[in-house]
Chains A and B, each alone.
Chain A
Amino acid sequence: MASQDVLREEPSRGSFINDPKIRGIFFQVLVVVLLVAGVWWIAHNVIDNLTRLRIASGFGFLKGRAGFDISESAIAYSSDSTYGRAILVGLLNTVIVAIVGIITATIIGFVIGIGRLSKNWLIRKICTVYVEVFRNIPPLLVIFFWYSGVLAVLPAPRDSINLPFGSFLNQRGFYFPRAVWGDGSWLIFVALLVGIAMAWFVARKARQRQMATGQQFPVFWTSAALIVGLPLLAYALSGFPLSFDYPKQSTFNLTGGFQVRPEFLSLYLALSCYTAAFIAEIVRAGIRGVSAGQTEAAGALGLRSGSILRLVVVPQAMRIVIPPLTSQYLNLTKNSSLAIAIGYPDLTATAGTVLNQTGQAVEGVVIMMVIYLAISLLTSLVMNWFNAKMALVER
């Protein structure tokens, strides 16, 4: 009571209706009440609809036998596997296409972005045309273009285009020889791991030494020798256990070898081309965001142009580039859901099929949403961590 009296004695606000604090509380309570009412209403409707129509509910269906096949799977899957596993296969396919797409898009994007700042007029224009074309058409259209416009009109398997190294290209995709690892090939992988570990160690030591004494060490060549040389040595020592399985003609398709399906190929190419245009713009903005004084100062210190780029410009540009780059990576991952339009079995497509075979729409959509949210959050976390690492350390 006492506090209210104090409130009333405050001169400025007349009635308590105008008190922003009380109004704030009132609005919030109102919103919460509306929200709870809305959720209750929806939940009531859903339950009512499901029971009235006798539609099954719950997530128990995930343990049921899927009964359908999936064309591409990174893990063992057959029609005897469960619905849950089918969704997992879809998730892995999404992750695969997202990762290779992100890598390719980043490479193309950086090349085009730097190209747009080139002193060379022709290169600048070519890069501008690329960016303006791909930024302004829908990604779905790019996917269709690759799928129906380019890959579908390739020759039939019988008249495949022969490419070097026993690879083939036809309308069923891109076939190349698959490596068959023989006995003792584990040694090669071990050697590779050892090589990478040693290279990392050498780089660390060399850096410490340079910091302390100023002496440099040829880190790049040493690392290259370790990472390439050790596995080669192991390959020789274990008696050349590697052989190749070449694709061959059969009644219907090419068999053997490794097949990259046109669905994957067009999705991957489209996502890479499309996202690269946006990354290029980000890179351009980032590099232009580093003031010319920085370059000039670095030049005055006697650094060579390569070193200026590597030690001065890029680290500063990266700070500007990383946050928007993160959202482009997320966009690419989300755009991979367009796979459904051309039949690449990604998360949306497999979860959609499961939804349809079981008829449990609510659960199906919820699973999709939760998984995509989790992927987004995970990517954001990783990129935020990377961003924090790259951020300007102010003293």
Chain B
Amino acid sequence: MQEHDMSWVRTEMVLAQPAPASVTGLGAWVRKNLIASTGDTILTIVGIALVAMILPQIINWAFINAVWTGPDRTVCATVAQGGIQPDGWTGACWAFVNAKFGQFMLGRYPIEERWRPILVAILFVALLVPMLMPKVPRKGLNAVLLFFVLPIVAFVLLVGGMFGLPHVETSLWGGLLVTLSLSFVGIAVSLPLGIVLALGRRSKMPIIKTLCVVFIETVRGIPLITVLFFASVMLPLFLPEGVSFDKFLRALIGVSLFAAAYMAEVVRGGLQAIPKGQYEGADSLGLGYWQKMYFIVMPQALKLVIPGIVNTFIGMFKDTSLVIIISMFDLLGIVKQNFSDANWATAQTARSGLIFAAFVFWLFCFGMSRYSMYTERRLDTGHKR
């Protein structure tokens, strides 16, 4: 081979050339993503116009013109409205949010007792964060603490009346405290209840099946408000004379039952997606019904429906805002209640308060949905159908 000096065959690879300028760089990106065709260009221009119209206004209102601190309404009102701002001024009144922040978080929880919900919140975060991080070990212990110990500790701390803690009525609870405790209990109750209902709906026992179908379809057919009305107006008449539930507990029952019906349908979807062979395989191993469900079917089914489950959680988290209808003050309720405070009544108060509430809700819901996407990817063991 060596003697062929004059070779027309290349002995080494040509180095990779950089891509032509027309497909790399900013220009190409713009060409591809913004002005690929005439129609596209028009869309881009419309889009830019839209953004240019809205975005500066939002930034101006929420940041540049906003009032961050102040003692009362005068800082957020124009001169004509009896305040100190120049006429024609519009800006967010974050001073209102600032002044009412404690109430927005905890409602009318007595000030000297506020360390209690704050302590619960710290414990909750301290237990939840390691639970959510897959790398942290001792998940079992963590789960026991989060789902068994924390509720009891939180209950003792929040309600009080034991161990020398003064009793705090639930009618004094409010704000994010109510939103979160309703959601947490709702989630903890609705998932197992939903699983039981879903199993019941797929059961071969006709009576159980009928009952589950009737319950699920009835609850799914009516609005949550009606369920809450039911819980607040009708439930007391169902109980014997003299027995009554706390309003908070009634709302809890309403929200949990409501979410359970939706959860049942999500879980049922997962159950239906498990091939028959899995059930038969479990049967052939001699597993009983609950063993079969616990070891074989549920782990697969639940994994499949994680997005649905989280969506139901998100839905329930948002739905807790409806307790305002039965005069309980969750985050949205307490924000709205404070609009009528004459000390802070300005044209900007409602907007600022609502946007603050929206932001808090959004943070939680968005966080949950992102976490579910992450878990979905992590648990994806490649059994794509």
Contacts and interface: CB of A to CB of B under 8 A. Distances in A.
A352 B225 CA distance: 11
B120 interface: no
Contact of A372 (B221, B240, B361): B221
A365 B40 contact: no
A136 to B, nearest CB: 4
A121 interface: yes
A2 interface: no
A153 B208 contact: no
A231 interface: no
Contacts of B153: none
Main secondary structure, interface of B, reads helix
A95 B362 CA distance: 30
Nearest to B225: A337
Given A120-B47, A340-B325, A45 B237 contact: yes
B237 A50 contact: yes
Interface in A147-162: 148-149, 152-153
Given A119-B33, A126-B51, A152 B238 contact: no
A137 interface: yes
Contacts, number: 159
B225 A120 contact: no
Contacts of A48: 240-241
B188 interface: no
A144 B241 contact: no
Interface stretch (A24-32, A187-195, A217-225, A291-299): A24-32
Contacts of A341: 324-325
Interface string B191-231: 00000000000001111100100000010111111100110
A133 interface: yes
B351 to A, nearest CB: 4
B84 interface: no
Interface residues of A, number: 56
Contacts of B336: 144, 148
A75 to B, nearest CB: 23
B354 A334 contact: no
Contact of B36 (A120, A140, A149, A340): A120
B354 A148 contact: yes
B350 A149 contact: yes
B50 interface: yes
B108 interface: no
Contact of B358 (A137, A361, A365): A137
A364 B233 CA distance: 10
Most buried by B among A52, A132, A144, A348: A144
Contacts of A210: none
Interface string A92-121: 000000000000000000000000001111
Interface stretch (B139-147, B298-306, B315-323): B315-323
Nearest to A372: B222
A337 B223 contact: yes
A52 B241 contact: yes
B238 A46 contact: yes
A145 interface: yes
A274 to B, nearest CB: 10
A136 B226 contact: no
A146 B47 CA distance: 23
B221 A365 contact: no
Interface string B294-314: 000000000000000000001
Contact of A119 (B36, B237, B324): B36
Contact of A368 (B220, B224, B229): B229
B14 interface: no
A288 to B, nearest CB: 15
A335 interface: yes
A145 B354 contact: yes
Contacts of A372: 221-223, 226
Nearest to A44: B240
A377 B237 contact: no
A137 B365 contact: yes
Contact of B221 (A335, A361, A373): A373
12 contacts: A45-B241, A48-B240, A49-B237, A50-B237, A141-B332, A149-B350, A149-B351, A330-B220, A340-B325, A361-B237, A365-B230, A365-B234
Given A28-B208, A45-B239, 13 more contacts: A20-B289, A32-B207, A48-B240, A121-B34, A126-B47, A138-B318, A138-B319, A140-B324, A144-B350, A148-B350, A153-B350, A369-B230, A376-B220
Q: Give 6 nearest A-B pairs by CB, closest first.
A: A136-B365, A121-B33, A376-B221, A138-B318, A334-B223, A148-B350
